[in-house]
Amino acid sequence: MRPLVATVDLAALRHNYLHAKQCAPQRRAFAVVKADAYGHGARRAVQALQDIADGFAVACIEEAEVAREVAPTARLLLLEGCFEPAELPRAAELGLDIAVQGEAQAEALLAADLARPLNVWLKFDSGMHRLGFDIAGLRAWHARLKDAPQVAELNLISHFACADERGHALTDLQLQRYAEVMQLGFDNCTLANSAAVLTLPQAHMEWIRPGIMLYGATPFAELAATTLGLQPVMTLTGALIAVRDIDAGESVGYGGTWVAQRPSRIGTVSCGYADGYPRTAPPGTEVVIRGQRVPLAGRVSMDMLAVDLTDLPAARLGDAVELWGAQLPIDELAQACGTIGYELLTKVTGRVPRRYVG
């Protein structure tokens, strides 16, 4: 078997969910498990959380079906709503909460013949300008839906655009707009994503929506996950599959862009961009072998990458290589590559086996 595995610590996942709940006392929390639980495996994530989670949130009905198989009675929120009217009866059959984010979805809901009414979350565009009604539209649809037979609870949902940038003026503006529309009266309200859960207690309404924080990564560029009390959930580990010595002046990898400045010892690692490791990782990006950091040498290939072992003479063929995890935070790698931890986690491909512990 190819020596590459993503180890998922379910005890850490549970810790992070409970930490979110501690940040927002007396609030309920939808654990966001969309995108296959951010690459960690939705079935196992839901299974690990179902006895402590108040509910789960997903992006589409296919994801909801997976979660429902594992958690038959859990509250499940469909964050983007039903993409076509034919999905509404299935949503009712599954007992979903659904977002309604535009007039087409709202009209389809009113026209639907459902076996039971749905908990509806009216999406408010408070400044993100991605999905949702403006203030006038929200008022109008609140009036039309509040007594509709297809609607059980009528709730409010919105999303912060800049909560990960502390002190951003748009966050204050969004909070002001929320205050205006909440006067309409809703059964429940949810505003807080991970960044707001961690730093904006004024946004902790009846429900919070922890996402990236569940998986032990930070939503902030300047605050480390450990500083926030989070534990890493995924550790991506490969192995040294070849070790060779090269002379000064010899190059490594495609394009010959990395050239040895001294006699060097080069290791080849069983991980590449087809596994989800970023090809954009610059020279000098580090991995961990035998508890010591060593830098990449040359470009990341599809199935492999190379590292400079010259300053780690103890390294041997078969040694484990941590690409990210407890010793090397995923956010550090993401920052070096000009991206965010969310992207790296969700890009770990299906050919990388997941091993569950805890």
DSSP 8-state symbol, 55: E
Looking at 34, 38, 123, 277, which residue is catalytic? 34
Q: In angstroms, rounded to a whole number, what is the distance separating the alpha carbons of residues 179 and 152?
A: 23
- In sequence order, what E strands does 87-222 have? 97-100, 118-123, 151-157, 189-192, 207-208
CB contact set of 315 (below 8 Å; sequence gap of 6+): 240, 243, 265, 267, 289, 290, 294, 309
> Is 130 assigned to a binding site?
yes
Backbone angles phi, psi at 288, to 5 degrees: -120, 125
Q: CA neighbours within 13 Å on the CB side: how many for 271? A: 27
Q: In angstroms, rounded to a whole number, what is the distance separating the alpha carbons of residues 74 and 295?
A: 45
| Two tokens, residue 313 | 């003479």
CB contact set of 309 (below 8 Å; sequence gap of 6+): 243, 264, 265, 266, 267, 289, 294, 315
Backbone angles phi, psi at 324, to 5 degrees: -160, 160
| Two tokens, residue 161 | 């655009």
DSSP 8-state symbol, 281: P
**Which one-letter amino acid corresponds to residue 176?**
Q
Q: In angstroms, rounded to a whole number, what is the distance separating the alpha carbons of residues 305 and 292?
A: 17
Active site residue 34: yes
CB contact set of 88 (below 8 Å; sequence gap of 6+): 82, 98, 108, 109, 112, 114, 118
**Which one-letter amino acid corresponds to residue 221?**
A
For the chain, what's the residue count? 358
3-state helix, strand, coil in the chain (%, to 5): 30, 25, 45
| Two tokens, residue 90 | 């299935």
What are the binding residues? 130, 302
| Residues recognised as catalytic | 34, 254
